[in-house]
Amino acid sequence: MNKLILFLLLFQLTAVIAVRSQSTRISGFVKDENGSPMKGATVSVKGADASTMTDSTGRYALAVPGARSVLIFSYTGYEKTEIATGGRTSLDVILKLSGTSLNDVVVIGYGTQKKADLTGAIASVSGADLNKRIATDPTQLLQGKLPGLSLTQASGEAGNESPALLVRGYSSYGSSNVPLVIVDGLPGSLTALDPQNIESVTLLKDAASAAIYGSRSANGVILVTTKQGNNGKFQLSYGYNAGITKATALPDLDYNSLDYMTMYNQAAGAATLFTAAQMAAYTNPTNKTLYPNFNWLKAVMRTVNVQTHHIGLTGGRNGTTYNVGLGYVDQPDIMIGFAYKKYNLQFNLTSKLNENVTFGTSLTLNYSTRNYPEDGSQDLFLSTLSQAPLYGPVLPDGSGRYTASAYPNISPNKNPVAVAQTSPGTVNEFYEQANVYLTVKIVKGLEWKTSGGLNIDYQKTSVYKPVINLYNWFAGPNDGFIRTLDVGGQGLSVTDSNYLYPVGYTQLTYNRSVGDHHFKLLGGTQTEYFKGQSLGGARVVYPDNSLQQLNAGSPGAQSNSGTAAEWSLLSFYGRLNYDYQDKYLLEANARYDASSRFPPDNRWAFFPSVSLGWVASRERFFDNVGWLSNLKFRGSWGKLGNQNIGNYPYQNVYVPSYPYPYTSAGLSSGAVETNLTDQSIKWETTRVFDFGTDISVFKNRLSFTFDWYNKLTYGILAQQVLPSYIGLVAPILNNGKMRNTGIEISAQYSDKIGQVSYSIGGNIQANKNVLVKYGPPNILANTIDIEGKPYGSFYLYQYAGIFQSADEISKSPYQPYKPIPGTFKFKDLDGNDSITANDRAVVSGIFPKYEYSFNLGAGWKNFDLTVYLYGSQGQKQFVTGWGIQPFNQGSVPTKDWLNAWTPLNHSTTMPLLYITGTGNVSSNISTPSTYYLKDASFLRIKNIQVGYNLSSKIARHAAMSSLRLYFAGDNLFTFTKFPGLDPERIVTNARYVAHPQNKVFSFGVKAVF
Amino acid sequence: MSSSIKSLIILLFLTGVFACNKNYLDKNPLATIPANNFWKTQSQADLALAGIYNFLVIGNNATGVTAAGAGWGGGSMFWDAISDNAYTTSSGGSFGNISTGVIEATTGGMQLTAYTVSYQAIAACNNLLANVGNIPLDSTTMNQYKAEAKFFRAYYYFLLTQLYGDCVLTLQPLSNDNASATLPRTAKAIVVDTILSDLAFAAAHLPNSAYNGHVVRGSALGYMAKVFLANGAWQQSAATAQTIISEHRFSLYTGGYRNLFFKPGQNGNPEIMFSANYLPPNLYSPSDWLYSYVNSIQVLQPLVNDYECTDGLPITQSPLYNSSKPYTNRDPRLAATILVPGVWRGTTASTVFNLATVTPPVPSGFLPKKGVDSTRFPTTYSTQSDQNWVFLRYADVLLMYAEAQNESVGPDASVHAAIDSVRQRVGMPVLPPGLSQADMRTRIQHERRIELAMEGQRFFDLKRWRLDRVLIPLVKDPTNAYRTFPLRDTLWPVPQSEVDIAKGYNNKGFYQTPGWN
């Protein structure tokens, strides 16, 4: 192999030849479709360094090397147009708005392709379109933009939004479902980018388009391209956005102290009631500071101002172009104690060393600081709900002491304000992704590209847990504290973790046309290596809470930890494209992959794909159909692989972290074999069929894309279901089959009425997931994995109403937990007159039935408007605990509970009041039943933006070439039946509370100088 | 330098970085020991053995109730909360739910982990027993490793039979094949036979010495006596206990009853025969914060009332009892075991045990003191406790002897001697002469409750005496609710997931405990 590389290098060397020729001058005007002059359009000579920009009249002038030169006209948002000069000295051109163009080039795996020639299922979105919304993490902007991609934002927590991406449903249950993200050709992070530096994002959905990424493409591939510079004048731009941010929705809690005490006494056993005297004190109190109706949500939730700055520097000359972006994000959080700051540098450089050799690099540096209270947002939220309105976070005497509670009959969870103010967690992250590439045109049609990249991540996490004394709300100045704040430990722990992730590939591309036959061949090899390491240290006792470094703590109680892991991949890949007259299209891909995660005998696997396309509109019989601009049918078949199953899934090991102190002399090391392993595991495979059609009519004004797919994953690498008496964790093995079938439809229409241009579009995606083969079902607390049903389906007792009388109970089947009137009744499904485990049933709704989005755009003179709606239909959420159940650690009931069942109020929707977590009533009502399954369908006005572009005349007076002002609203309104909090969420522990999503009103400005 | 040469250098560099390496795809774990390298040396046998002992300290280093291993190691006091000794509202181990008599196959907590953890420990024992023979060791050493593993296998099977009755029995490591996944529940009597034979092997091959952290012959004999007793084999139980007594390796500790439960009293203690050991800061117990910070276990008044006066008479009869000073003139074990209002703990006046201000509230009126280090008060979740949790001590053996001998022979002099020595150690008067067998039975039951109170024994004692179904429904919790004890609760349901999985494998030999179908 080394010899081959040497040969290629020599070959490349000899192929580098400079060309010289005579030059002539050419000039002209660039206008848009309305005939308006376009200022700032780039005009360059194809294959040469020369380029210029148009002036305010749209005029350009430049020297071209000869009569055969080709000029390239480009302007953001418009179709790139190439025109041969043909010896002319004057050439005017009209640029067309892009968007529906088939001449657009889209980024695909290891290359680019004309949209018209695509045969695979691909969706793409431009950076300009993405940046119509404002977000600190560009991943969030993908929601609803790429049909086939489902994006759920886990929460609105600053810097920890954790958007979950899913392409065409869950394709696996043992290994990861996260799509592969490729930034500028190499695996990278989308989150680390500044959204404004993104040129385009492409989603590879089917096997045909993704198979070239064989090993990790089963979950789809997201290709991100960052902006390159343009040949021409240096251009400086500045963007600023300020967003007033608050929670989209909060639960409606009853923060009236007297209500709270009354309801609590209704719920509690005799031993822990509020006394008459205590209740009297809160009845029309004269001292409202001492006897408040304290609203804890208001103490923890706030409205904040999120700011982003972006400076862009771009330009280039003599074949070298650059694009530099500097970004800064200051994102305080809507919950106290949380904040995020991000500093970002993007540096892209492309340089033509000569006619045949191009060198380029792109570099992302990202530094961020994320602050959070040690217990995280869900815990802080639930401990907020756990506080009674009878007291505030700090004592009313002005001493600054934190409150434990008002009366000892209830033990609330930790004081959230105290936690947020005293127990900081901080993650400092430095992330770098960089790559360099070199392309060499060896002979006509043959190009050699080599690219190498390195991603480095360095994270330092420190969490400080102080000892904070908590006092009774009514404590006198000399009263002692009654407990210390529960921060889950004491002292400082610091963890350094880092990874190094180098990747490199080298490939040859060959292009050839013979008559109407066009061929394109690609072949290459790629290698990846990953090593992650961590080192941690902790000290427990600190003299006070002001010094929060390890050395400031007592060395008496200290500990350390550290580990490392690595994996590697080696691959060969290739592609053949063939078309006849741009009418009949064929593409074949193959990848041969090896992963260190599999045993030596099963390391290598082959992932082929093939796709066919027919551009029917190019057939003669459509020649007379004037309204039809494009009609294409395409179909594909292929296999994709997945190996995201932990680093060492087949190695049988003893874990040496089980020590034991036989005597006080010291710890003896201990090791336990904890897991069974399967030494014969191999790649998990996903087979995808895809059929699609692309139609555009009325001169491309209306375009329409449809895809149907059938995705079957088999040999799924997942943990076997085994009885626990085996005593070891069940092994990961190839087992199970899962099918996803679905459709994706998108349509877009743009037109103009007088001076108003407008566009309207939408897309809808529906996916159906079913477990085809699984083995013994896997039943968890409220879900089941069973053949014939969607993966992770709800498996619940059937709520059948509220017992209204003892008589009704005695006439009903036997129910566990000794029900009393006011508690829940469950359905006896198997008819054995007793509610048992056999009365659980599968309930639909774990996945949305369909997701959809609409976009509207309009422009009039210098104004523009975009409206964007996003919706999800048919998903249910199982939610329990704080905010749903009353008095969970004292949690404040929602106002619904004012209608609780009592012997006098025979409610059929709310059971009797109870103390969650204690006694039979709680056990009965807490039974995982359909009662807690809430409809989480929603449609939200995701974004509205109104913009004004200052006329260039006025802008020029301010030394600017353009200036844009806009107002935008994000998550403005949500239509949903989900109670209280936001329906968009990812909560794996069945809790209702989750960091709220954000509603943002923002103002922004973008100036180009 | 021409650009071509420069580009050549860049390309060479790029390709050089990723030069092919023969072992490029061979990546092995960096922080764990490969199994094919294990079972080669004696130090690896030591690693595997310590790994088994580590199951004793589940919940170590916990800083929250969920992780604290309620019912295991330093969290063993939770067992008293499902007897008539104590009360809990804690979610820890689901003991709160279990105590009220509402146990279901999905209750979780101890109902689940008693099952899963026991089988994990048994798997570790079976693994050692199957593989230790690969290590070149002399037969005495080899048998000692085997004996320790068999002791633990017996220990965990004993727990399983006590709680669930019939259970899956395996003496070999299991795998993921269908045969392993379709084992039946074996009749309890057969499992008990296996337990006894394991313990007999352990007793024969463990060193006959004082307890030093490793189990010894006395530990094995002690559990053998317990297993016999729990299964009504009075004569064998008495004989086994008598062996321990006559071998004189253990004795009652005279350094103070309370010090049995703290260091340094526990170091080299002649009475302790088996315990879960802790050593902060790297392996510490949650005991202090569990019992004095979150107040998860609260002692019930009837236990307090059950302590005699110093004259050996119950408070209902003793002239020494003064209801206005109820805690004076009482069996000294009361003050050593139970924290009563007004007692100081920690260092400042604010830390006196005061029912009006204590949080979380203590509606039962009492907190435990045995095994709770008052000097560490006020405690937090970060308090690191070093005290070992005692599972078996010589006083227990004496009382087991008394019980077994009284049942098989009657209240002879040796029965009196055994129980009296336990009483005299704390300065309590001996039992009166002339007790009938039934009287003696009551006395022994009383003595066990007092001597071993809050040590996690009472629940199993009541089960053995079949008094759980009688006494537990009489318990009135601070909520004013009476507990229930349906007869089916004498054996627990196995986890619902086990039944679901057995059904998935069509494993007909595996069934839910009767009463929970």
Residue of B nearest to A470 (CA): B359
Residue B14 has pLDDT above 90, yes or no: no
Total Cβ atoms within 10 A of residue B493: 25
- Contact B131/A at CB under 8 A: no
Q: What is the tens place of the pLDDT at every residue in A261-291? A: 999 999 986 667 899 999 999 999 999 999 9
Helix extents (H) in B319-359: 332-337
Other beta carbons within 10 angstroms of residue B201's beta carbon come to 18
Query: Closest Cα of chain B to A242: distance in Å?
Result: 41
**Which helix or strand (DSSP H or E) is residue A488 part of?**
none
Query: Of A507, A660, A780, which to mutate for an interface test with B (greatest number of B Cβ within 10 Å)?
Result: A660
Q: Which DSSP string do the residues of A992-1003 spell out, in sequence order?
A: S--PPPEEEEEE
Query: What domains appear along chain A, each with residue ranges and CATH number?
Result: 22-94 (2.60.40.1120), 105-230 (2.170.130.10)
For chain A, what percent of residues have pLDDT higher than 90?
57
Report chain A residues whose CB lies below 8 A from the CB of B127: 673
CB contact under 8 A, A731 and B28: no
The answer to whether B121 contacts chain A (CB < 8 Å) is yes
Could you tell me the pLDDT band of residue A98, with boundaries at 50, 70 and 90? Answer: low
Q: Per-residue pLDDT tens for B143-167?
A: 999 999 999 999 999 999 999 999 9
B30 to chain A: which residues are within 8 Å by CB?
Answer: 563-566
- DSSP state at residue B484: -
Q: Which residues of B touch A662 (CB under 8 A)?
A: 50, 53, 212-214, 277
pLDDT at A53: 75
Nearest to B18 among A269, A504, A723 (CB): A504
Whether residue A16 is predicted with pLDDT greater than 60 in this model: the reply is no
| Beta bridge partners of residue A615, listed in sequence order | A632
Q: H-helix or E-strand containing B93?
A: none
Flag whether pLDDT at B2 surpasses 60.
Answer: no
Q: How many CA atoms lie within 13 A of A490 on its CB side?
A: 23
Sign of the CA dihedral with A116 first, then A120, A126, and A130 last:
positive
The alpha carbon of residue A561 and the mean position of all alpha carbons in its chain are separated, in whole angstroms, by 31
Confidence of residue A804 (pLDDT cuts 50, 70, 90): very high
A486 at B interface, C-beta within 8 A: yes
Q: Can you give the three-state secondary structure of A760-779, one letter per residue?
A: EEEEEEEEEEEEEECCCCEE
pLDDT (average), residues B505-510: 95
Residue B26 burial (C-beta neighbours within 10 Å; 0-12, 13-18, 19+): exposed
Query: How far is A415 from A468, CA to CA, in rounded Å?
Result: 10
* CB pair distance less than 8 Å for A450 and B360: no
Instruction: State how far the Cα of A105 lies from the Cα of A223, in Å rounded to an integer.
Output: 13
CB-based contacts of A776, cutoff 8 Å, min separation 6: A721, B501, B503, B504, B505
Measured at the alpha carbon of residue A296, what is the angle toward residues A399 and A1000, in degrees to the nearest 5? Answer: 120
Between the two ends of chain B, the Cα-to-Cα distance in Å is 85
CB B507 within 8 A of CB B179: no
Cα distance between residue A973 and residue A939, in whole Å: 8
Q: Which of B122, B222, B221, B218 is nearest to B169 (CA)?
A: B122
Average pLDDT over residues A859-877: 91
A 738-797: CB under 8 A from B:
775-777, 779, 781
Query: Is residue A690 within 8 Å of A120, Cβ to Cβ?
Result: yes
Å from A297 to nearest chain B CA? 24
From residue A984, alpha-carbon distances to A782, A853, A935 in Å are 20, 15, 11
When pLDDT is averaged across residues A165-183 and rounded to a whole number, the result is 82
Strands (E), A672-723: 684-697, 702-714, 717-719
Q: What is the pLDDT of residue A103?
A: 60
pLDDT in tens, B205-262: 999 999 999 999 999 999 999 999 999 999 999 999 999 999 999 999 999 999 999 9
On whether any CB of chain A is under 8 Å from the CB of B16, the answer is no
Residue A366 pLDDT: 94
Q: Is B323 exposed, middle or buried (0-12, 13-18, 19+ CB in 10 A)?
A: exposed
Decide if pLDDT at B435 tops 90.
Answer: yes
Token pair, residue A461, equals 């996490």
- CB distance B358–A408 less than 8 Å? yes
Which residue does chain A place closest to B182, by CA atoms?
A: A723
CB contact, 8 Å: A271 with chain B? Answer: yes
Mean pLDDT of B71-80: 97
Report the residue of chain B nearest A435, measured CA to CA: B14
Q: What mean pLDDT is predicted for residues B329-341?
A: 96
Q: Is the pLDDT of residue B19 over 80?
A: no
User: Residue A212 above 90 pLDDT?
Assistant: no
CATH level 2 (architecture), domain B41-279+389-502: Alpha Horseshoe (1.25)
Q: How far B125 CA sits from the closest chain A CA (Å)?
A: 10
Q: Which residue of B has its CA nearest to A491?
A: B382
**Cβ of B360 and A5 within 8 Å?**
no
Q: Mean pLDDT, to the nearest integer, of B445-470?
A: 97
Q: Specify the pLDDT at position B179.
A: 96
- Whether the Cβ atoms of residue B323 and residue B316 lie closer than 8 Å to each other: no
pLDDT grade, residue A49 (50/70/90)? low
Q: Does B293 touch chain A (CB under 8 A)?
A: yes
Domain boundaries, chain B: 41-279+389-502
Assess A671–B contact: CB distance below 8 Å, yes or no: yes
Q: What pLDDT sits at residue B380?
A: 82
A658 touches chain B (CB under 8 A): yes
Question: For residue A1, what pLDDT is reported?
Answer: 39
Confidence of residue B1 (pLDDT cuts 50, 70, 90): very low
Interchain CB distance below 8 Å, B27 and A647? yes
pLDDT at A663 over 70: yes
User: Among all chains, which residue has been given the structure tokens 């009965």?
Assistant: A924
pLDDT band at A232 (very low <50, low <70, confident <90, very high): confident
Q: Which residues pair with A335 in a beta bridge?
A: A301
CA atoms within 13 A on the CB side of B308: 18
Per the CB < 8 Å rule, is B348 touching A480? yes
The more confident residue out of B11 and B204 is: B204
Q: State the residue for tokens 């499904």.
A: A829
Are B282 and A818 inside 8 Å of each other by CB? Answer: no
**How close A460 comes to chain B (CA, Å)?**
21
Query: Which of A347-361, A391-405, B34-48, B409-423 is predicted with the least confidence, judged by mean pLDDT?
Result: A347-361
pLDDT of residue B335: 96
pTM listed for this prediction: 0.86
With a CB cutoff of 8 Å and minimum separation 6, the contacts of B198 are B150, B151, B153, B154, B157
Of A292 and B358, which is predicted with more confidence? A292
B359 touches chain A (CB under 8 A): yes
pLDDT of residue B9: 63
Cβ–Cβ gap A660/B281 under 8 Å: no
A725 to chain B, any CB pair closer than 8 A? The answer is: yes
The residue in chain A having the minimum alpha-carbon distance to the alpha carbon of residue B19 is A2
- Report how far apart, in Å, the C-alpha atoms of A225 and of each of A419, A833, A852 are: 42, 63, 25
Q: Determine which helix (DSSP H) or strand (DSSP E) holds A846, and give its type and residue range.
A: none
Residues of chain A above pLDDT 70, percent: 95
Find the distance separating the first CA and the last CA of chain A, reported in whole Å: 51
pLDDT at position A865, please? 92
Cα A173–chain centre separation: 19
Answer yes or no: are the C-beta atoms of A702 and A749 closer than 8 Å: yes
pLDDT digits (tens, 9 = 90+) for A558-598: 889 999 999 999 999 999 999 998 889 999 999 999 999 99
| CB contact A842 to B (< 8 Å) | no
* 3-state SS assignment for residue A442: strand
Which residue in A275, A238, A596 sits closest to A406, CA to CA?
A: A275
- Counted across chains A and B, CB pairs separated by less than 8 A come out at 334
Specify the higher pLDDT residue, A441 or A626: A441
Question: Is the pLDDT confidence value at A56 over 50?
Answer: yes
CA distance A987 to A923: 22
Give the confidence band of B3 by pLDDT, cuts at 50, 70, 90.
Answer: low
Residue in chain A closest to B360 (alpha carbons) equals A411
Mean pLDDT of A438-455: 91
* Residue A420 main-chain phi, psi, to 5 deg: -65, -30
Residue A637's φ and ψ, nearest 5 degrees, are -140, 145
Whether pLDDT at B390 is above 90: yes
Dihedral of alpha carbons B175, B178, B184, B186, sign: negative
Please state at what angle helix B188-205 crosses helix B217-230, rounded to 10 degrees: 160
pLDDT confidence of residue B281 = 83
Two structure tokens written together for A615:
């551009």
If we measure between CA atoms, which residue out of B456, B444, B448, B294 comes closest to residue B379? B294
pLDDT at B201: 98
Give the pLDDT band (50/70/90) at residue A768: very high
Q: What is the largest CA-CA distance in chain B?
A: 115
Query: Do B123 and A726 make contact, defined as CB atoms within 8 angstroms?
Result: yes
For residue B8, pLDDT beyond 70: no
Q: How far apart are the CA of A919 and the nearest CA of chain B, in angstroms?
A: 7
B172 in contact with A at a CB cutoff of 8 Å? no
Q: Closest partner residue to B63 among A472, A489, A594, by Cβ?
A: A489
Task: Return d(Cα A93, Cα A28) in angstroms, integer.
Answer: 8
CA gap B164, B30 in Å, rounded: 40
Contact of B6 with chain A, judged by CB distance below 8 Å, is answered with yes
Q: pLDDT averaged over chain A?
A: 88
In this complex, is the C-beta atom of B485 within 8 Å of any C-beta atom belonging to chain A? no
List the structure tokens of A731. 């092994």
Whether the predicted pLDDT of A556 surpasses 50: yes
CB interface of A with B, residues 601-640, below 8 Å: 603
The secondary structure element, H or E, covering residue A754 is: none
Mapped onto helix, strand or coil, the DSSP state of residue A59 is strand
Report the candidate in A887, A920, A913 with the shortest Cα–Cα distance to residue A410: A887
